[in-house]
Amino acid sequence: MSVLQRLLRSPEGAIGLAILCLLAATAMSAGAFFPRDPLSIVGPALVPPFSDMAFPLGTDRLGRDVLAELVHGSRASLMVGIAAAAVALVVGALVGTLAGFAGGLIDEALMRIVDAFQVVPAFLLALAFVSVAGASLPVVVLAIALGAWTAPARLARAEVLSIRERDYVAAARVIGMRPLEIALREVLPNALAPVLALSSVIVASSVLIEAALSFLGLSDPNIVTWGSMIAEGRNVLRSAPFLSIVPGIALMLTVLGVYLFSEGLGQALAGRKART
């Protein structure tokens, strides 16, 4: 039985995969269904949900379509989550591999850098970085990755420590491969599997951190995000709570889908490993 079949047989994996597929399809089709700028004013202000079929989820304080903002906001959430996870995994895997394979002073120095980054909570680190560097999408991605790369680095180092003394690594040394070449071509690919398992957790936390930064106004004002939508609804929470509730539900479902998918994928991979 393939990993995909095992994933779909798991309730967590099937539900998580369905949520993520729906989110991805929504993000990719945002321009087709809502070609107009989601920040443009299209109707009267504060139209309640389901009261006007032209605006199924209502409008905000400025008369902008909440559904259009929600759909376009999914793009930003996915983009930030996947990009931050990719940067964190690449940097963490490289640092962990170099530290574990080199050992000695290099290992000690790199691990002390990892410790220094781990001391500061990820959100506070992102908050400080964005406050200094300015609010833009690339800066937000880099800020989130700064607090997320340490876990992949530690896991990659642990894997490399168990791999570097194996026979194929010794054979690579015998045939004259350079240490850096051995680390990147022979050791790193075999240490990646457990590191990649962290990707779903990093994506979920990245989405939450981006939403928190947007809520505080530390995001690109020209891009719709779910966090900025929640912040926009904060000022009229008593009279129009749907402005914060709708993006809040979308955010909750996204994180839930990522975690369920991670659980199902873990079970599928564990079942495959047990059979082999």
- For residue 268, being part of any structural domain is answered with yes
In degrees and rounded to multiples of 5, residue 135 shows phi and psi of -90, 110
To 10 degrees, the CA torsion angle through 135, 25, 35, 209? -10
From first to last of its 276 residues, the chain has per-residue pLDDT tens of 576 787 788 888 899 889 989 998 998 998 898 998 898 999 899 999 999 888 999 999 989 999 999 999 998 888 888 899 999 999 999 999 999 988 889 999 999 999 999 888 899 999 999 999 888 889 999 999 999 999 999 999 998 988 888 888 888 888 888 888 888 888 888 888 788 778 888 888 898 898 899 888 888 888 888 988 998 888 888 889 999 999 999 999 988 988 888 888 777 766 655 455
Separation CA 159–CA 180 (nearest Å): 17
- For residue 151, being part of any structural domain is answered with yes
- For residue 49, being part of any structural domain is answered with no
At residue 108, the pLDDT reads 92
At residue 92, the pLDDT reads 94
- For residue 251, being part of any structural domain is answered with yes
Number of domains in the chain: 1
In contact, 198 and 151? CB cutoff 8 Å: yes
The pTM for the full model equals 0.83
At residue 146, the pLDDT reads 92
Q: What CATH number does the domain containing 158 carry?
A: 1.10.3720.10
At residue 270, the pLDDT reads 65
At residue 271, the pLDDT reads 63
Which tens digit of pLDDT belongs to each residue from 194-236?
887 788 888 888 988 988 998 888 888 888 889 889 988 888 8
Domain that holds residue 229: 3-44+56-275
Separation CA 84–CA 97 (nearest Å): 20
Three-class SS state of 59? strand
Which tens digit of pLDDT belongs to each residue from 172-201?
888 888 888 888 888 888 888 788 778 888
Report the candidate in 65, 37, 62, 33 with the shortest Cα–Cα distance to residue 49. 65
- Bridge partners for 59 per DSSP: 65
- For residue 218, being part of any structural domain is answered with yes
- For residue 51, being part of any structural domain is answered with no
- Bridge partners for 267 per DSSP: none
Separation CA 105–CA 108 (nearest Å): 5
- For residue 160, being part of any structural domain is answered with yes
- For residue 50, being part of any structural domain is answered with no
